[in-house]
A and B are shown apart, each in its own frame.
Chain A
Amino acid sequence: MARWGMVIDLNRCTACQGCITACHQENNVPPSNPRLAGQNRSIRWIDMMPMYEGEYPHTAMSLLPMMCQHCEHPPCIKVCPVGATFFSEEEGIVGQVYSRCIGCRYCTNACPYTVRQFNWFEPDVPPTYPQGTNPDVSVRYKGIVEKCTFCNHRLMHARDTARADNRNLLPGEFVPACVEACPTKAMVFGDLEDPQSEVAKQARSKRAFRLMEDLGTEPKVYYLREGRGQ
């Protein structure tokens, strides 16, 4: 049992978008192009969301790296008619079964964070990489929904290695690509259930908040507010 979660420190984040690039490489997210971008149809598992605070002239804007929040009570899973999206009780990760998804997009509409993505066309995979840049992750096809999986394939790898060595998973053995790529170490990943873990410590910070906690979805992505202390 683990509760994989993430803390993103907005004090440290420079909004360099390295996490986005890393995610695209790692998860074979199809590259966008001007046409797709113009139609609002680019697929991004992680994206920069502007958050505005205050009133003119005292305004502030933060940029939040925004991906699937891996809610503890995900509204998307309830509505799926075929069980193409599931909640792993063991890992606390919200997953997507590409071969089951019928593309009805009920989950994309039910998600209050609108972080689920739909393949409007056949993905524009470079011919030199028909399997994408990462053979561990399947290349998706048109007509299905996809989203951030917390790099679930990395977890499976790490667990298999640990099992082969007859030991438990070590802290830091499994981190998603975005966390690994973050140059300022703004993103911390780990088991929220382990009180000693770095991620659990930071999630208890006074600056920590989650998006739209009032909806009761209990996201497992925490943000640390910009500024000091309070």
Chain B
Amino acid sequence: MNSHDKPMPRPNDPLGPDWVLVKPIVQSNPRFWFVVGVLLAGIALGATAYIHQVRTGLGVTGMNRPVYWGIYIINFVFFIGISHAGTLISAILRLANAEWRRAITRSAEVITVMVIVFGVSNVIFDLGRPDRAVFVLTHGRLQSPLLWDVCSISVYLTCSTIYLYLPLIPDIAILRDQANRRRWLYRILALGWQGTPRQYRILEKGIGVLMVIVIPIAVSVHTVVSFVFAMTLQPMWHAAIFGPYFVVGAIFSGIAALIIAMAIIRWAYHLEGYLKQIHFNYLGILLLVMTLLWFYFTFAEYLTTWYGAEPVHMAVWWSKFSGRYAPQFWAMFCCCFVIPFVILSRRQTRTVAGTVVASIFITIGMWLERFVIVVPTVSNPRLPLDRGFYHPTWVEWSVLLGCFCFFILLYVLFTRFFPIVSIWEIQEGRMNATRELTERAQAYLPDPPPHEAPVHGSGIPAPATGRGLA
């Protein structure tokens, strides 16, 4: 291969200015190995903790009687929630034909696929007998909400993986033709993509179908995650609001995670020209909407419980408001509502830095929200037989750290194998977006009165209906 050490694009390189998008893939970077080293250390710590737990038993965690669920289940809900960043946001933006989506969809979709794995693995970490996890498939009972999770999440993982892969194909073909390494891999994955109009038509149709079906699947995923709690009789779990409440929370934390990921990519790979201020501003507005929705749902849930004032529910309610879990509850409220609302509602602070700060608080706040949902209820059962308190141990914190590191590692590896900003969609936008937007805007305008309409053709074009690469 004569192109093996091609350091820079040829002058007539078809990528032109977008060369910066494949730079992380074709050029080594010592910083990358440093990051990988740090992440591997975190993963090793998590793995050590987990092996210790498998050998000794779940007693090494902070769980006890009656707090049978702790950080692992919180992580499960949290990570599955984060996964809504991707596919759902990207599908909604594509469906809405939002032009500004082009640079951000890929980074969102990658979050989904990578983070689901950690949602699922946290359920395995929670099992007393992880070696029997396969029983869920071989002896599964559909009556159990956990089986609904298994079905829904596996469908979601499959769909969002395909949904990530399809728009990746033209970019893989670019790499197959341009990259100086791993060409064999790209040749296989590109599936013989030549960029013919027919191939584009098929691709566009595939993406179009997937983005529609992926939305109800994503909604179903977090709904059945909430059903794991809502289907039991336990105080403050047994609530009809849980389905939509969890979906809103999932999208909320998902957007926050997406903003953080985008900011890191932007900084690490110098993509300021692609992930621009305006993207963060728009996502910040979306995040603000979700902040308000989150507050609305939280308010509705807690007010209903308080007004009904059933003693078993109030025991949990007070433990959150002023009891032993009050620090977590009020920290959650500040992180999920007060701080993001103040930052995001003002245009001056809805900057890259501002949205990132808000997103970090939201991510922490949403983790705490899951804590506040799971732990106080199990700590305050109906009968006074047991009362418990939950102090997570180093094992659980290490596993959480390990999960984060592993997730970031997978994400970083993805950016070293595939372009994290969709090249072909950017190019397509450059070529067509201005024209399409003009046509669309004209199509929205009222038609001219018939008597003024010119007889043969005019300056007014036909309404644009095509999406993507028409």
Contact = CB atoms under 8 A, between A and B. Distances in A.
Interface of A: 39-42, 47, 49-52, 66, 75, 78-83, 100-106, 108-110, 112-115, 117-122, 142-145, 211-212, 215
B142 to A, nearest CB: 9
B58 A118 contact: yes
B56 interface: yes
Given A78-B143, A83-B141, A112-B381, A144 B128 contact: yes
A68 to B, nearest CB: 12
Interface in B384-430: 384-386, 388
B383 interface: yes
A145 B128 CA distance: 9
Nearest to B142: A81
A109 B57 contact: no
Return the 5 tightest CB-CB contacts between A and B, nearest first: A103-B128, A143-B128, A120-B59, A142-B57, A81-B146
Contacts of B57: 119-122, 142-143
A181 B58 CA distance: 33
A102 B123 CA distance: 11
Contacts of B228: 106
B136 A211 contact: no
B139 interface: yes
B146 A106 contact: yes
A49 B385 contact: yes
Interface centre among B57, B135, B140 (most CB of A within 10 A): B57
A108 B66 contact: yes
28 contacts: A40-B64, A41-B59, A49-B385, A50-B384, A75-B232, A79-B146, A81-B141, A81-B150, A101-B129, A101-B132, A102-B127, A104-B123, A104-B146, A105-B126, A106-B228, A109-B232, A112-B233, A112-B381, A113-B383, A113-B385, A114-B65, A114-B386, A115-B385, A118-B128, A120-B64, A121-B57, A143-B58, A144-B128
Interface in B343-386: 378, 381-386
B451 to A, nearest CB: 70
B133 interface: yes
B231 interface: yes
A49 B383 contact: yes
Contact of B58 (A52, A103, A215): A103
Contacts of A212: 382-383
A117 B386 CA distance: 12
A114 B381 contact: yes
Contacts of A83: 139, 141
A53 B337 CA distance: 41
Nearest to B139: A82
Contacts of B388: 40
B143 A144 contact: no
**Most chain B CB within a 10 A radius of its CB, from A50, A104, A120:** A104
Residue in B66, B147, B388 whose Cβ sees the most chain A Cβ within 10 Å: B66
A176 B257 CA distance: 55
A41 B64 contact: yes
Contacts of B129: 101-103, 143-144
B68 interface: yes
Chain A at the B interface: SS class: loop
A121 B141 CA distance: 27
Contacts of A105: 68-69, 126, 128
A40 B386 contact: yes
B144 interface: yes
Contacts of A78: 143-144, 231
A143 B386 contact: no
Nearest to B132: A102
A143 B127 contact: yes
Contact of A82 (B141, B383, B386): B141
B65 A41 contact: yes
Contacts of B123: 104
Contact of B136 (A42, A66, A102): A102
Interface in B89-130: 123, 126-129
Given A78-B143, A115-B385, A40 B128 contact: no
A51 B113 CA distance: 50
A113 B123 CA distance: 24
A104 B234 contact: no
A117 B65 contact: yes
Given A47-B385, A109-B378, A114-B381, A79 B68 contact: no
A41 B132 CA distance: 23
A119 B128 contact: yes
Contacts of B139: 82-83, 100
A95 B385 CA distance: 21
B242 to A, nearest CB: 15
Contact of A80 (B69, B133, B144): B144
A120 B58 contact: yes
Nearest to A211: B383
Contacts of B208: none
Given A122-B57, A143-B129, A79 B383 contact: no
Given A102-B133, A108-B68, A142-B128, A82 B232 contact: no
A103 B383 contact: no
Contacts of B136: 81-82, 102
Interface in B217-257: 228, 231-234
Given A39-B64, A82-B132, A82-B139, 7 more contacts: A82-B135, A82-B140, A102-B127, A103-B58, A103-B127, A110-B232, A144-B128
B24 interface: no
Contacts of B386: 40, 114
Contacts of B145: 79
